[in-house]
Structure 1
Amino acid sequence: MRRLTKRISFQLERPGVLALRHRYATQLSFLQARLSPGSYLGLQLTVGVAVLIGASWLFGGIAEDVVTGDPLTLIDVWLAQWLHVRADPTLTRFMLVISHMHDPWMLSVVVMCLSLFLLYRRNWVWLLSVLLAVPGGMLLNILMKLAFQRARPTFDDPVLTLVTYSFPSGHAVGATLFYGVIAAMLVIQTRSWVLRSIIVLTTLPMVALVAFSRVYLGVHYLSDVLGGFAVAVAWLTLCVVGIHTWFQHRQARQTAG
Structure 2
Amino acid sequence: MINIMAKLRRILPGELGELSVLAGISLVAGSLLGVMLLTDEVLEGETHAFDRAVLLALREPDNVALPIGPDWLASVVRDLTSLGSTAVLSLIVAAAALYLLLDGKRLSAALVLVSTLGGWAMGNGLKLLMGRERPDVVPHLMHEITLSYPSGHALMSAVIYLTLGALLARAERRPAFKVYLFGVAVFVAFIVGLTRLYLGVHWPTDVLAGWGLGAAWAMGCLLVAGWLERRWRR
Cα offset, 1:166, TM superposition: 0.5
Aligned pair partner of 2:103 in 121, 125, 128:
121
* Residue in 2 that maps onto 1:30: none
Aligned residue pairs total 221
Deviations 1:107-166 (Å, cap 9, x if unpaired)? 112211111111101101211110011122012100010011111111564322323111
Q: Please name the residue that 1:248 is paired with.
A: 230
Give the one of 168, 184, 199 matched to 1:202. Answer: 184
Instruction: Return the TM-score normalized by structure 1.
Output: 0.79
Q: What is the CA–CA distance in structure 2 between the aligned matches of 1:61 and 1:193, rounded to whole Å?
A: 35
Aligned counterparts of 2:160 and 2:27: Cα–Cα separation in 1: 18
Give per-residue Cα distances to partners, 1:63-84, cap 9 Å, x unaligned: 11111122x3311111112213
Deviation of residue 237 (structure 1)? Answer: 1.1
Residue of 34, 39, 43 corresponding to 1:67: 43
* 2:56 alignment partner, one of 76, 81, 98: 81
Q: How does 1:1-257 map to 2 (within 5 A)?
A: 36-38=11-13, 42-70=18-46, 72-85=47-60, 87=67, 88=69, 89-155=71-137, 157-252=139-234
- Structure 2 unmatched ranges of 5 or more: 5-9, 61-65
Aligned CA distance change for structure 1 residues 155 and 75 (closer, same or farther; 3 Å): closer
Shift of 1:186: 1.7
**Alignment partners' CA distance in 2, 1:154 and 1:161:** 13
Structure 1 segments unaligned to the other structure (5+ residues): 6-34, 253-257
Give the superposition deviation at 1:41: 7.5
User: 1:172–1:207: 8 Å Cα contact kept in structure 2?
Assistant: yes
* Alpha-carbon separation, structure 2, partners of 1:156 and 1:57: 30
After TM superposition, the structure 1 stretch with the greater mean CA deviation from structure 2, 136-145 or 94-103, is 94-103
SS in structure 1 opposite 2:58? helix
Change (3 A) 1:156 1:45: closer
Amino acid at match of 1:226: L
Structure 2 counterpart of 1:80, one-letter code: L
Distance across 2 between alignment mates of 1:239 and 1:156: 37
Per-residue CA deviation, residues 50-69 of structure 1 (Å, 9 max, x unaligned), is 11111111111211111112
Distance (Å, rounded) in 2 between the aligned partners of 1:45 and 1:136: 21
**Greater helix content:** 1
SS at match of 2:207: helix
Cα distance in 1, alignment partners of residues 81 and 230 from structure 2: 38
Find the counterpart in structure 1 of residue 63 from structure 2.
Answer: none
- 2:24 is matched by which residue type in structure 1? G
Q: C-alpha offsets along residues 38-59 of structure 1, whole Å, 9 cap, x if unaligned?
A: 2777233222211111111111
Whether the 8 Å contact between 1:148 and 1:167 is mirrored in structure 2 is: yes
Instruction: Report the TM-score, using the length of structure 2 for normalisation.
Output: 0.86
SS in 1 for 2:37: helix
Give per-residue Cα distances to partners, 1:146-191, cap 9 Å, x unaligned. 0111111115643223231111100001111121011101221223
